[in-house]
Amino acid sequence: MSGSKLPIISSERADLLVRQDKELVWHPFTQMREWMQQEPIILVSGQGCWLTDSKGRCYLDGNSSIWTNVHGHNHPRLNDAVRQQLERIAHTSFLGFTNPPAIELASKLVQLLPRHTLRKVFFSDNGSTAVEAAIKMTIQFFQQNGQPEKTGFIAFENAYHGDTLGASSLSGISTFHERFKNHHFSVTRVGSMQQLDSLNPCRIGGLIIEPMIQGAAGMRVWPQGMLKGLREWCDTYNVLLIFDEVMTAFGRTGKMFALEGEGIIPDLLALAKGLTGGYMPLAATLTTDRVFEAFLGSYKELRTFFYGHSYAGNQLGCAVSIANLDVFEEEETLLNLQPKISFFTDRLKDLAQQRFVREIRRCGFIAGIEIGDTDGSPFDWQRQMGSKVCHAARKHGILTRSIRDVIVLMLPLCVQKDEIALGISAISQAIDETCGT
Ligand SMILES: Cc1ncc(COP(=O)(O)O)c(C=O)c1O
């Protein structure tokens, strides 16, 4: 389904918008000088896995709109959920009040996990704040559990947990985070599970990992058994295990949650991005009764978790998240995904033969295609080859973004096999054209 070929907005209006964008808007993770010199794509509509721009050109949504979209754009069930909620109310405060969609969503999320495990749901509005909440819960938990010295965190090299100062303290990608290091809290950084053995865990409160696969590191897959090992280590030293599933949850790894890959339950679980099916900014930090109960007491004991955001429990976001989860059942999304993953895997094997492809890393329906020179060496990062390939891929009908020289391919779960083939072929052609010149 490639949508309408007709211009969606007039060329005069598109020109005006581009001028105003360049004059007024500052885009995230974007060198704005380069942006000013390019012709931006103005996305105006979408249908299923396809996006349409102001000129009526259609593109496959190759990175699920920065890893958020799940069942496709303009999905009737999700649209209806938003509309119906909108007829009632869009947003009310979650501080001191509650609302039906937030309660129902909490109940649905908890039921997706094994009974009596993660039973408390704390809402916020993006992946960074879901992690931020987990950080503060961990610190306060130990303060209120007689071990206030347990303020330290362990995080992995090249991890990415978000951009707010707390979340970026945990992140280990130097390009993004190095310049802020004097403002970060200190974190014990490890490259592998083996390194944990040489650490003194006395002052460590939390250990955070992107389970199964690190995303922004360039789609790096962890060895099997890692999560089990981490769970054991955390149990031995009374450290809270935090899974950041902001990228991996909601089907991306082939299961609802990446934690199912090894059947390991963390003490804290951060969810965002796909929670709303890619419709709205909403996040949740789930935790156990044990953590939650450490925060109970009379007001004057000051055990309250003094943390929250204005849009916590947003009614529109929660309503569409419920519909997102319902669609998983109604469309048997995970069942139908399995043959697509096999097909995806086979096609990627073909792509791996391409002379400029150094390595393809895949976990479930997530892939990172690393490009480099024909002798197997990496490209000089300053050449921005990954970004150039993504640019070239546009004219072959796919939009995605690279992480340095790793092209991300993370299609919405509703994609069909012919669309997967089209997407991979578009990337292959773009690699050939860009790297071969
Ligand atoms: C694993 C992980 N954690 C946290 C974040 C931050 O999420 P957000 O951009 O919604 O703040 C991201 C974003 O890519 C992520 O991949």
Question: Which CATH number characterizes residue 358's domain?
Answer: 3.90.1150.10
232 shares a domain with 149: yes
Predicted pLDDT at 8: 77
Q: Which residue has the higher pLDDT, 5 or 381?
A: 381
Predicted pLDDT at 368: 98
68 CA from centroid of ligand 1 (Å): 10
267 CA from centroid of ligand 1 (Å): 19
159 shares a domain with 104: yes
53 shares a domain with 20: yes
Question: Parallel, antiparallel, or unpaired for β 398-399 and 58-61?
Answer: parallel
What band does 30 get if pLDDT is binned at 50, 70 and 90?
Answer: very high
What band does 437 get if pLDDT is binned at 50, 70 and 90?
Answer: confident
The residue among 279, 313, 330 that closes a domain is 330
Mean pLDDT to the nearest integer, 111-120: 96
Mean pLDDT to the nearest integer, 71-100: 98
188 shares a domain with 51: no
322 shares a domain with 339: no
161 ligand 1 Cβ < 6 A: yes
217 found inside a domain: yes
Predicted pLDDT at 6: 54
228 shares a domain with 326: yes
120 shares a domain with 61: no
CB contact set of 278 (below 8 Å; sequence gap of 6+): 64, 65, 68, 69, 70, 73, 412
- The DSSP line for 258-326 is GGGGTT---SEEEE-GGGGTTSS--EEEEE-HHHHHTT-S-GGGT-S-----TTTT-HHHHHHHHHHHH
223 shares a domain with 352: no
Question: Parallel, antiparallel, or unpaired for β 283-287 and 357-363?
Answer: unpaired
How does pLDDT run across 383-432, given as a tens digit for each residue? 999 999 999 999 999 999 999 999 999 999 999 999 999 999 999 999 99
The residue among 330, 346, 378 that closes a domain is 330
348 shares a domain with 325: no
5 pLDDT above the threshold of 60? no
Q: Do 245 and 269 touch, CB atoms closer than 8 A? A: yes
- Domain extent, residue 415, equals 11-71+333-435
Predicted pLDDT at 7: 57
Mean pLDDT to the nearest integer, 34-50: 97
CB contact set of 5 (below 8 Å; sequence gap of 6+): 56, 58
1 found inside a domain: no
The residue among 293, 308, 330 that closes a domain is 330
CA angle 307, 311, 317 (to 5 degrees): 130
How does pLDDT run across 366-381, given as a tens digit for each residue? 999 999 999 999 999 9
259 found inside a domain: yes
Query: Which of the listed residues 124, 163, 246 should we mutate to test ligand 1's pocket, taking the one with most ligand atoms within 8 A of CB?
Result: 246
Q: How far apart are CA 407 and CA 403, in angstroms?
A: 6
Which DSSP state fits 184? S
299 shares a domain with 223: yes
Predicted pLDDT at 2: 44
3 pLDDT above the threshold of 80? no
What band does 351 get if pLDDT is binned at 50, 70 and 90?
Answer: very high
185 shares a domain with 218: yes
4 found inside a domain: no
What CATH code is carried by the domain that includes residue 117?
3.40.640.10
338 found inside a domain: yes
With tokens 């105006």, the residue in question is 44
5 found inside a domain: no
Residues above pLDDT 90, as percent of the chain: 96
Longest dimension (CA), the chain: 69
Taking CA atoms, 380 is separated from 216, 242, 357, 372, in Å, by: 19, 35, 15, 9
Q: Which amino acid is at 56?
A: G
Query: Which of the listed residues 273, 275, 280, 401 should we mutate to test ligand 1's pocket, taking the one with most ligand atoms within 8 A of CB?
Result: 273
Query: How many angstroms from the chain centroid is the CA of residue 339?
Result: 23
Query: Which of the listed residues 129, 160, 209 should we mutate to test ligand 1's pocket, taking the one with most ligand atoms within 8 A of CB?
Result: 160
Token pair for residue 195? 């390194």
Atom of ligand 1 nearest to the CA of 159: 1
How many domains is the chain partitioned into structurally?
2
33 found inside a domain: yes
126 shares a domain with 46: no
3 ligand 1 Cβ < 6 A: no
32 found inside a domain: yes
CB contact set of 20 (below 8 Å; sequence gap of 6+): none
